[in-house]
Chains A and B, each alone.
Chain A
């Protein structure tokens, strides 16, 4: 005990580098954007005016903001469900493979190493209405593929690109989760006559629930923020705003329209939304989780 008391400064010193980074790159910008949300400012920062809640009122009064919120909702559910469902399927399959299992695991993890912007370009390359290989394939079976004008197809494209990318992340966690389940439990159930589906539903799935819960939170954050680059490299929020998510709108208002007040207000709203979602997830969904 006495040893620690003599070294009161040491823990702070050790923490300092991390603290500096967090303050500099997280708290400071967050505070700056919180402050900015209450001001109207020109692009060059030559003058500013306090406007109270006017930026928030302006954002919430536009139809486009609510449309973007709707798109974000559909997009999030589709990506989270798709990325987690497929990852679970592949993890279960990869877990059972006896020969070459490492190869499968590497291949399934690979897409995560691809930057979202590159992922977007890859999928666009295949699904480009004019040059895309898959567009030609679809035309042969009578599907007219045109992401420049068809809102559903455009949304589908960004969902596929995002699912493909996030799936790998989920796969790694699901696979790790599966391998932590004691084989003896499954064997005991098998001896008792439970079939593969029954074993999966009553043993594997409940034991995976902490992993699934963690991934749900992570996927929500991914969809809300990191899919920006995918959208920016494929549909540019089009056609007609069909793929404009909240974070894309925030970018447009901040960096294209250079309306810092509005975009700061949106970032504050988005931050509040993520906080709220996380609280909801912890309060209600975590109750169903068995640790």
Chain B
């Protein structure tokens, strides 16, 4: 026993001597991918590390997206920022305005003479991370978009053959499902603000905020409450709530439970939730994926939906040597091989056209029905002012404010117009504060 301890102490003590003499440059990558996604992130880093011997990428899981952003900010303030950090799409405005803290990806690529073509990315992905003057500031990594999941067994039981295309068809189907006892509830949703307001606005070509949803300046203000179609949509959800045609399922991805348990027959949530839903519903019921419904009173041909997910930001304060490695690694991450593998494994969309083509060639979309719904919905048409995404400061908090409003509308505390007006007012105070804090 004692001998063993002595031996292990010796091994520990001599361990540093065993490392190679030439030191590879370490690149720290903070991320928020947990569980199997985290394993996949490590796999990507390992593959990169094995492909060359100059750089070692070290991925570090820092908790939720919000935790990681907090950690990154705190580290930056202490001059200890990681080289690369993963920031969710709603943190984009915060990162973009932190000009002294970030190293824009297009500059990095130029400074390190790394080939980089922004047009290789899907337009809806590229636009989200591109500044007003047309430069890509961060590297897209994991992008998803909301889709409609429906319980095929329940639909069969209710005698409905096809998933709804419009919200009014969805309303009819939801009522039929409940009335015929095929399910206790028709529709539920995860990420309520993202699916029912942000994407509803984009798909139906309605503004969510002024200044092209914040893309043209930080003096943007929320206007979703002034769009009659948006207000009417939330009103119909509130009406359906009374008959269980719709059931509000809580914030974040809480609503998913109502679908997974078989209680609700339809769910709007991220395309990236597919793997999780498949696991949870296995042996219980069959489900399929359809595009998000659109509002036929607002538009005849639905526009593209907008993305969720995250991108990789490069932080200032590293040595030049590190940045060379960062540029090489980012190129590796965006390569068709890595992206195709990542997308087929996770349900995120392939972020480049090349990766999409590669998956098509591999027959992925033939083997996996429904997997192309998200990317087709994301790539239909060219994104216009209402469909490039949202660039709003304090957006995570605005989502909380919208969740407050939806809850107050669905439980009858406020009328729908009252609730949305109040959310816009509170949200605009956030935008004013953000505008002042970044001094613009």
A interface vs B, CB < 8 Å? 40-47, 49, 58, 62, 64, 128-131, 148-151, 236-241, 252-253, 255-259, 261-262
CB distance A43 to B396 under 8 Å?
Answer: no
Q: Does B437 contact A (CB under 8 A)?
A: yes
CB distance B97 to A42 under 8 Å?
Answer: yes
Query: Across the two chains, which residue of chain A brings its CB closest to B98?
Result: A44
CB distance B433 to A262 under 8 Å?
Answer: yes
Q: How many A-B residue pairs have CB under 8 A?
A: 99
CB distance B98 to A240 under 8 Å?
Answer: no
Between A and B, 28 residue pairs with Cβ closer than 8 Å are A40-B437, A42-B439, A43-B94, A43-B98, A43-B437, A44-B101, A45-B73, A45-B77, A47-B439, A58-B433, A128-B257, A130-B258, A148-B248, A148-B249, A148-B250, A151-B411, A236-B400, A238-B403, A239-B408, A240-B411, A241-B408, A256-B394, A257-B433, A259-B394, A259-B430, A259-B433, A259-B437, A262-B433
| Residue picked from A43, A47, A236, most chain B C-beta under 10 Å | A43
CB distance A238 to B251 under 8 Å?
Answer: yes
Residues of B close to A252: CB separation below 8 A = 397, 400
| Residue picked from A240, A255, A261, most chain B C-beta under 10 Å | A240
Within 8 A of A (CB), among B127-168: none
Residues of B close to A239: CB separation below 8 A = 404, 407-408, 411
CB distance A40 to B257 under 8 Å?
Answer: no
Q: Does B438 contact A (CB under 8 A)?
A: yes
Within 8 A of A (CB), among B246-282: 248-252, 254, 257-258, 261, 263
Do A240 and B101 contact each other (CB < 8 Å), given the known contacts A43-B437, A256-B396?
no
Do A46 and B98 contact each other (CB < 8 Å), given the known contacts A128-B257, A256-B400, A257-B396?
yes
Give Cα A45–Cα B73 distance, bound, in whole angstroms.
9
Query: Across the two chains, which residue of chain A brings its CB closest to B394?
Result: A257
Give Cα A46–Cα B436 distance, bound, in whole angstroms.
13
CB distance A149 to B407 under 8 Å?
Answer: yes
CB distance B411 to A150 under 8 Å?
Answer: yes
CB distance B397 to A256 under 8 Å?
Answer: yes
Q: Does B410 contact A (CB under 8 A)?
A: yes
Min C-beta distance of A29 to chain B, whole Å: 13
B interface vs A, CB < 8 Å? 66, 70, 73, 76-77, 94, 97-101, 248-252, 254, 257-258, 261, 263, 394, 396-397, 400, 403-405, 407-408, 410-411, 413-414, 426, 429-430, 433, 436-439
Given contacts A252-B400, A256-B66, 12 further A-B contacts (CB under 8 A): A42-B438, A44-B101, A49-B439, A128-B257, A148-B250, A238-B404, A240-B404, A241-B404, A241-B408, A255-B70, A256-B394, A256-B397
Residues of B close to A238: CB separation below 8 A = 250-251, 403-404, 407
Residues of B close to A237: CB separation below 8 A = 400, 404
Min C-beta distance of B100 to chain A, whole Å: 5
Query: Across the two chains, which residue of chain A brings its CB closest to B433?
Result: A259
CB distance B261 to A130 under 8 Å?
Answer: yes
Residues of A close to B263: CB separation below 8 A = 130
Give Cα A123–Cα B137 distance, bound, in whole angstroms.
43
In the complex, which of the residues B77, B257, B394, B400 contacts A131, with contact meaning CB atoms closer than 8 Å? Answer: B257
Do A257 and B397 contact each other (CB < 8 Å), given the known contacts A44-B77, A62-B429, A130-B258?
yes
Give Cα A43–Cα B393 distance, bound, in whole angstroms.
11
Give Cα A129–Cα B185 distance, bound, in whole angstroms.
13
Give Cα A72–Cα B98 distance, bound, in whole angstroms.
35
In the complex, which of the residues A45, A62, A240, A261 contacts B408, with contact meaning CB atoms closer than 8 Å? Answer: A240
Residues of B close to A46: CB separation below 8 A = 98-101
CB distance B437 to A151 under 8 Å?
Answer: no
CB distance A44 to B100 under 8 Å?
Answer: yes
In the complex, which of the residues B77, B251, B411, B430 contacts A257, with contact meaning CB atoms closer than 8 Å? Answer: B430
Min C-beta distance of A200 to chain B, whole Å: 43
Residues of B close to A49: CB separation below 8 A = 439
Residues of A close to B400: CB separation below 8 A = 236-237, 252, 256
Residues of A close to B436: CB separation below 8 A = 40
Give Cα A239–Cα B192 distance, bound, in whole angstroms.
13
CB distance B77 to A149 under 8 Å?
Answer: no
Give Cα A150–Cα B412 distance, bound, in whole angstroms.
10
Residues of B close to A255: CB separation below 8 A = 66, 70
Give Cα A126–Cα B98 distance, bound, in whole angstroms.
43
CB distance A240 to B251 under 8 Å?
Answer: no
Give Cα A256–Cα B94 distance, bound, in whole angstroms.
11
Give Cα A256–Cα B70 distance, bound, in whole angstroms.
9
Min C-beta distance of B188 to chain A, whole Å: 9
Do A258 and B258 contact each other (CB < 8 Å), given the known contacts A41-B437, A44-B101, A151-B411?
no
Residues of A close to B439: CB separation below 8 A = 42, 47, 49
Give Cα A258–Cα B73 distance, bound, in whole angstroms.
10
Min C-beta distance of A254 to chain B, whole Å: 9
Residues of A close to B429: CB separation below 8 A = 62
Residues of A close to B261: CB separation below 8 A = 130-131
CB distance B426 to A64 under 8 Å?
Answer: yes
